[in-house]
Chains A and B, each alone.
Chain A
């Protein structure tokens, strides 16, 4: 089985500052990694995903994440945040291949609050 730990439950930051949301995972097999964003009172939307290839993945809204296999991490970064980035962010993993296709395991979520 796999598990995901998001190391910060809340991250406050000022507008135009950089931000990093941390995610570590645990799995005995290869995994695919995802970041989803949830704006208030909405469903989840995919920000970016890592399946294979380059370990630096770029997503929507200027976000990027780096897959680090040795540290089993997949941290999300943005160099300059906007007020509109205020939301809850979820890291998720999916065991690669086999019958586990689509069965996501989510982290606990990190609430990003951007202050003016």
Chain B
């Protein structure tokens, strides 16, 4: 049982480049989330998807887009990367009626 998987694990981008972070879960969870983690700031919600076919903004959505491709997969796209987007990105999923979010291992992104 893989739980929540994320690819890639590490990425270095130049300012202005684009990329997509991939996330998949095999727990049949309805809800999925993207967070960014910065030192001293905890985790902040970027976007979430309460169910397949829906997405909504979180606390810090600017500069990002998301796609809920199907029930399993939820991707995060940076269209034009900026140094301020250097961070560790976590994907999480949540089943109906549960309050325990399951987190992936994270993607460490550096924008130069």
Q: Which residues of A contact B44 (CB under 8 A)?
A: 106
A46 to B100 CA separation, bound complex (whole angstroms): 7
Interface 9-residue window, one of A14-22, A62-70, A71-79, A96-104: A96-104
Q: Which residues of A contact B48 (CB under 8 A)?
A: 102-103
Interface residues contributed by chain A, number (CB under 8 Å): 25
Interface residues contributed by chain B, number (CB under 8 Å): 24
Q: Within 8 Å of chain B (Cβ to Cβ): is A9?
A: yes
**Nearest A residue (CB) for B105:** A43
Q: Which of A9, A42, A103 contacts B45 (CB 8 A)?
A: A103
Q: Which residues of A contact B100 (CB under 8 A)?
A: 46, 49
Report whether A102 and B94 are in contact in the complex, using a CB–CB cutoff of 8 Å. yes
Nearest-neighbour CB distance to chain B for A8, whole angstroms, equals: 12
Pairs A–B under 8 Å by Cβ, sample size 23? A9-B40, A42-B105, A42-B106, A43-B4, A43-B104, A43-B105, A44-B101, A46-B100, A46-B101, A51-B99, A90-B42, A101-B31, A101-B50, A102-B48, A102-B50, A102-B99, A102-B101, A103-B45, A103-B58, A104-B101, A106-B42, A107-B42, A108-B40
